[in-house]
Structure 1
Amino acid sequence: MNFWFFIFLSILQGATEFLPVSSSGHLAIFQNLLKTFKEPPIFFDLTLHLATLFSILIYYRKKIKSYLNFNSILFLFVGTLGTGIVAFPLKEIAKEAFSSIFAVSCFLFLTGIILFFASGVKEGNKKLDLKTAFLIGLFQGFAVFPGLSRSGTTISLGLFLGLPSAVACEFSFILSIPAIAGANFLEFLNEKNIPFISIKYLLIPFITAFLVGLIFLHFTNKIFIERKLKPFSIYCIIISVLIFGALTYGKYL
């Protein structure tokens, strides 16, 4: 892969990591539909995830400070526990789903349906509690499946459970910090052969993904707070239907 394709992947990661359209789903689509597409080196993939993790840390730096108390840390612990309970047993199944364009399209369709119903939920005023934190964590665990948007499912669940939009977004993204960091650390430990990559192919894509991530993180917060979710719902459903159509005619089988 050439340098500009690495930049393209950086922009794709920075945008779709936060938009409710599933970054892993889009990567899986590229892998399955574009036969010449090769999965990026693991170290490059980890670099992009680190970049978007930094986007969250910078964007929510003031809110993160307010989470440095017993109750908030307990909420994050319980939520992360819920994520682990679901994600670890499903990890291998999720890996297999990456090679199934049908599975990806099904999860994208489900994401679209969730967003559609979330767009009509009235603004809540419920305070975050342990039960809500645990349930949101559980749903975050299911986002190991490509096509099932992490932000889309967790924030939507927060809205369904009566959390104010701003609180649902805030908790969802802060809860993703230990999940993203932990998942990528484990992936790094499990990788035996990490190829050398030029600093040019890491530093510039890192900065690109970081900056794009900041922009789209702000945009995602805005669309959830204003409930402008239907365009993303329609997008996910259309993409999934197009894939279903392609599979039906056997073009990509």
Structure 2
Amino acid sequence: MTDTMTWTQSIVLGAIQGLTEFLPISSSGHLRIASELMFGQDAGASFTAVTQLGTEAAVLVFFARDIVRIVIAWFRGLFDRTERGLDYRIGWYVILATIPIGLLGYLLKDEIRTAARNLWLVATVLILFSGVFWLAEKYGTRRRSMEQLTLRDGLVMGLAQCLALVPGVSRSGATASAGLFLGLEREAAFRFSFLLAIPAVTASGLFSIPDAINPTGDGMESTGAQLIVATVVAFILGYASIAWLLKFVGNHSMNWFGAYRVILGLTVMGLLAGGVISAT
């Protein structure tokens, strides 16, 4: 039987989504853990996907000038070779790099909503991927700026984005780590990571609206009004977190987030082992 979500639950989860979406700590993993800890069950993958529309709206507003410039340059470049500069190329990089996660997300949609949300898996991934952050920081040269982005960079980061289909990985963490391995500066890696997420997250959120309101599988049932409020909360806090993160990564490594992920992962494993929370 599917439980009905309360207003408190929807607002709290919307806030968590907004605060964690852009940090490399996995917003979907945090929503899964928080809903189990506070409410005794999974809010559902569809609710997570819909609230991500709020954080993606924050990206659109925060990077509005960049996005408009890229879109205009892309359309101009289609018809005029002389207009095919960096912005035109970035437009293509985002489009092509989105294809892998679009295909995998569609093919694995049932597993993403069920087996992938097991808390043992989430906790394990939180810990293991911290090692990826450490390696990326250790071996990434961080010498290349956004202006030096290539198609290869875009495709590799697009493939890395597919890992975010598993809660606990972190979309920004996976793509930014890939960017660091490729030699990009931290801020450049995160900026492209945010742009790259727009098509996939928006499509996933819109596609998930019907199932969030009337769950056909696991997940709590929420009203349209609750989804809207949760999404607005996610937008407000998401906008603030983008500004903070871009300043933070300019002078600090991702290992700070890695340490937090290890602590959180071990804590969740302890709660699971003690029977305090359920894995499914």
One fold, TM greater than 0.5? yes
User: Structure 1: which 5+ runs fail to align?
Assistant: none
Structure 2 partner of 1:218: 243
SS at match of 1:67: helix
The alpha carbon displacement at 1:198 in A equals 6.5
User: How far apart, in 2, do the equivalents of 1:192 and 1:233 lie?
Assistant: 34
Is residue 2:34 matched to residue 1:8?
Answer: no
RMSD: 2.7
User: How far apart, in 2, do the equivalents of 1:211 and 1:130 lie?
Assistant: 33
Structure 2 partner of 1:93: 111
Structure 2 partner of 1:67: 70
Structure 2 partner of 1:197: 223
> Normalised by the size of structure 1, how large is the TM-score?
0.86
User: How far apart, in 1, do the equivalents of 2:198 and 2:267 lie?
Assistant: 33
User: How far apart, in 1, do the equivalents of 2:277 and 2:95 lie?
Assistant: 43
CA contact (8 A) 2:141 2:184 kept: no
Aligned pair in 2 of structure 1 residues 24, 206: CA closer, same or farther (>3 Å)?
A: closer
Residues 1-253 of structure 1: matches in 2 within 5 Å? Answer: 1-34=5-38, 36-37=40-41, 39=43, 45=48, 47-68=50-71, 69=74, 70-120=88-138, 121-125=140-144, 127-188=148-209, 193=214, 197=223, 199=225, 201-252=226-277
Larger mean CA deviation between 1-10 and 206-215 belongs to: 1-10
Q: Deviations over 1:197-244 (max 9, x none)?
A: 364x35543332211111101122223222332221111011112223
Q: Deviations over 1:97-139 (max 9, x none)?
A: 3442110111111232222233343322262111211111111
User: How far apart, in 2, do the equivalents of 1:5 and 1:168 lie?
Assistant: 33
CA contact (8 A) 1:21 1:236 kept: yes
CA contact (8 A) 1:75 1:133 kept: yes
> Normalised by the size of structure 2, how large is the TM-score?
0.78
User: How far apart, in 1, do the equivalents of 2:7 and 2:115 lie?
Assistant: 28
The aligned amino acid for 1:22 is S
Aligned pair in 2 of structure 1 residues 53, 83: CA closer, same or farther (>3 Å)?
A: same
The alpha carbon displacement at 1:95 in A equals 2.4
Q: Deviations over 1:50-103 (max 9, x none)?
A: 211110000111111232224222111111013224433443333233442110
User: Structure 2: which 5+ runs fail to align?
Assistant: 75-87, 216-220
Once the two structures are aligned, what percentage of the paired residues are identical?
Answer: 29
Aligned pair in 2 of structure 1 residues 161, 198: CA closer, same or farther (>3 Å)?
A: closer
CA contact (8 A) 1:97 1:146 kept: no
